[in-house]
């Protein structure tokens, strides 16, 4: 790796605001990268999201821009067009890469001839967990990557345009690019990532236990999911019902319960591990129709994911400050086996209480459960 004299992290104590301090550091880092890098890196832009302040400064071929993550697709398209001959680095304010990471990630993006690279933050083990197990065209639907890492865009390549009224233009850009050519989106730094886990960081925003239907600004992801033919992305040939269960899972993880229900109900009782019935049970638990959810979990019986969930739940409760954490830990995992009915009781209790710590633990377990089930469904759909 080339040596670089840029500081490994933004300055902490300055007389300026944290944002201006970070912007100054990024300008310094990017100028150094432009001097030390290859021709591929002589025009690099770093865009910082998740801040209410909109500030921009230009230094030669380096452009640093701070903006809100909810900015429209037209703004994102304009930012990419501004740096149409180099690399655009999109990062949240808390996930700005250091110079060495940026050099290595950009080199890897170039060597892969990919249009988009995703560099996971060290604290977000759920992103590499699912991206290493699902092809990019499917993994891109699971979570907004900019919430857990840095996005590198090779703006010299032709990138699709996100819809004008979508709520997550960066995720939409990643999905549309992967659907066009899944080799165009790659996970960066994956060889160095040791910590992979379906259990998410406790501070990340997660799907609710009993969600409302997404609004019209989220419709784009449902429209794209309806067009997906999962057979194109399987590693082998498994039972056809598993491909349907896979789409049911992707709808479910995006809070489209009716669409997920239609898919899972169409394959009722099918498959070696009845993955569709498991997704069916999750749907009713989140509806919420707790009694119906328990009915479907009884129909599922013992599922292979149940062998993995006790360890996940134990960690979530060990990191939970709720006074009720030990009680629920015992109920869900006390026998050494996963108790799906007890988890439904936990979800119901969390929804009715004001215990935010308990709700967070339940959401983390629910998220891990859905990632594990997506992985298992994909492997069975591929005949693995």
Q: How many CB atoms lie within 10 A of CB 248?
A: 28
From edge to edge, which strands make up the β-sheet containing 62-66? 55-59, 62-66, 44-49, 87-92, 149-154, 116-120, 185-187
Instruction: Say if residue 371 is in the same domain as residue 257.
Output: yes
Is there a contact between 152 and 87 (Cβ–Cβ < 8 Å)?
yes
Instruction: Say if residue 49 is in the same domain as residue 119.
Output: yes
Mean pLDDT in residue range 113-117: 95
Mean pLDDT in residue range 319-338: 95
Per-residue pLDDT at 42 exceeds 50:
no
Instruction: Say if residue 287 is in the same domain as residue 368.
Output: yes
Instruction: Say if residue 33 is in the same domain as residue 178.
Output: yes
Which span out of 12-16, 57-61, 185-189, 339-343 was modeled with the highest average pLDDT? Answer: 339-343
The answer to whether residue 197 sits within a structural domain is: no
Instruction: Say if residue 299 is in the same domain as residue 358.
Output: yes
Helix (H) or strand (E) holding 25: helix 18-36
Instruction: Say if residue 250 is in the same domain as residue 364.
Output: yes
Query: Residue 61's pLDDT band (boundaries 50, 70, 90)?
Result: very low
The answer to whether residue 209 sits within a structural domain is: no
| Environment class of 79 (CB within 10 Å of its CB; exposed 0-12, middle 13-18, buried 19+) | buried
pLDDT at residue number 30: 44
What domain count does the chain have?
2
Which span out of 83-97, 145-159, 177-191, 352-366 was modeled with the highest average pLDDT? Answer: 352-366
Whole-Å CA distances, 42 to 34, 46, 187:
5, 13, 23
Whole-Å CA distances, 305 to 29, 251, 266, 310, 359:
44, 19, 22, 10, 22
Instruction: Say if residue 39 is in the same domain as residue 173.
Output: yes
More confident site: 133 or 150? 133
pLDDT at residue number 80: 67
| Environment class of 211 (CB within 10 Å of its CB; exposed 0-12, middle 13-18, buried 19+) | middle
The answer to whether residue 77 sits within a structural domain is: yes
Residue 239 domain boundaries: 216-381
The answer to whether residue 200 sits within a structural domain is: no
3-state SS track over 154-193: ECCCCCCCCCCCCCCHHHHHHHHHHHHCHHHEEECCHHHC
The answer to whether residue 274 sits within a structural domain is: yes
The answer to whether residue 12 sits within a structural domain is: no
Closest CA to 178 of 221, 215, 214, 216: 221
88's tokens = 């655009």
pLDDT at residue number 36: 43
Task: Give the span between the Cα atoms of 244 and 138, in whole angstroms.
Answer: 13
Worst-scoring range by mean pLDDT, 33-42, 89-98, 160-169?
Answer: 33-42
| Environment class of 98 (CB within 10 Å of its CB; exposed 0-12, middle 13-18, buried 19+) | middle
Query: Residue 71's pLDDT band (boundaries 50, 70, 90)?
Result: low
Instruction: Say if residue 239 is in the same domain as residue 319.
Output: yes
| Pairing between β-strand 185-187 and β-strand 116-120 as defined by DSSP bridges | parallel
Instruction: Say if residue 162 is in the same domain as residue 300.
Output: no
288 prior amide bond cis, ω within 30: yes
- The percentage of residues in the chain with a pLDDT greater than 70, rounded to a whole number, is 76
The answer to whether residue 4 sits within a structural domain is: no
Instruction: Say if residue 164 is in the same domain as residue 222.
Output: no
Which of the listed residues 140, 158, 192 is the one where a domain comes to its end?
192
Which span out of 94-98, 161-165, 342-346 was modeled with the highest average pLDDT? Answer: 342-346
Which of the listed residues 128, 158, 192 is the one where a domain comes to its end?
192
Query: Residue 190's pLDDT band (boundaries 50, 70, 90)?
Result: low
The answer to whether residue 210 sits within a structural domain is: no
Query: Residue 65's pLDDT band (boundaries 50, 70, 90)?
Result: very low
Instruction: Say if residue 167 is in the same domain as residue 242.
Output: no
Instruction: Say if residue 222 is in the same domain as residue 371.
Output: yes
3-state SS track over 125-153: CHHHHHHCCCCHHHHCCCCCHHHCEEEEE
Per-residue pLDDT at 166 exceeds 50:
yes
**pLDDT tens profile 250-286:** 999 999 999 999 999 999 999 999 999 999 999 999 9
pLDDT at residue number 149: 87
Task: Give the span between the Cα atoms of 141 and 102, in whole angstroms.
Answer: 25
């Amino acid at each position: 790796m080339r040596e670089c004299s840029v500081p490994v992290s933004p300055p902490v104590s300055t007389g300026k605001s944290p944002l201006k301090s970070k912007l100054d550091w990024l300008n310094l880092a990017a100028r150094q990268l432009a001097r030390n890098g290859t021709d591929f890196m002589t025009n690099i832009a770093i865009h910082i999201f998740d801040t209410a302040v909109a500030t921009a400064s230009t230094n030669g071929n380096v452009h640093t821009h701070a903006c809100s993550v909810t900015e429209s697709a037209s703004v994102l398209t304009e930012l990419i067009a501004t740096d149409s001959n180099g690399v655009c680095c999109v990062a949240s304010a808390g996930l700005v890469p250091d110079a060495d990471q940026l050099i290595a990630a950009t080199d890897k993006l170039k060597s892969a001839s990919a249009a988009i690279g995703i560099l996971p933050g060290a604290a977000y083990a759920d992103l590499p967990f699912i991206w290493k197990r699902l092809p990019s065209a499917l993994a891109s639907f699971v979570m907004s990557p900019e919430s857990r890492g840095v996005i590198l865009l090779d703006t010299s390549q032709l990138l699709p345009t996100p819809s004008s009224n979508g709520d997550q233009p960066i995720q939409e850009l990643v999905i549309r690019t992967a659907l066009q050519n899944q080799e165009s989106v790659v996970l960066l730094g994956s060889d160095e990532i040791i910590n992979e886990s379906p259990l998410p960081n406790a501070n990340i925003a997660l799907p609710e236990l009993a969600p409302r239907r997404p609004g019209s600004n989220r419709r784009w992801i449902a429209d794209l999911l309806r067009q997906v033919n999962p057979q194109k992305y399987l590693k082998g040939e498994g039972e056809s019902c598993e491909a349907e269960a896979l789409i049911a899972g992707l709808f479910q993880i995006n809070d489209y319960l009716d669409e997920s229900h239609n898919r899972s109900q169409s394959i009722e009782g099918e498959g070696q591990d009845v993955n569709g019935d498991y997704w069916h049970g999750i749907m009713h638990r989140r509806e919420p129709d707790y009694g119906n959810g328990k009915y479907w979990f009884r129909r599922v019986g013992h599922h292979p994911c149940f062998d993995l969930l006790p360890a996940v739940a134990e960690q979530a409760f060990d990191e939970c400050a709720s006074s009720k954490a030990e009680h629920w830990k015992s109920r869900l995992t006390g026998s050494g086996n996963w108790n799906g009915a007890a988890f439904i009781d936990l979800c119901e209790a969390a929804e009715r209480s004001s215990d935010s710590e308990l709700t967070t633990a339940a959401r983390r377990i629910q998220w891990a459960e859905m990632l594990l089930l997506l992985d298992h469904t994909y492997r069975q759909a591929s005949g693995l």
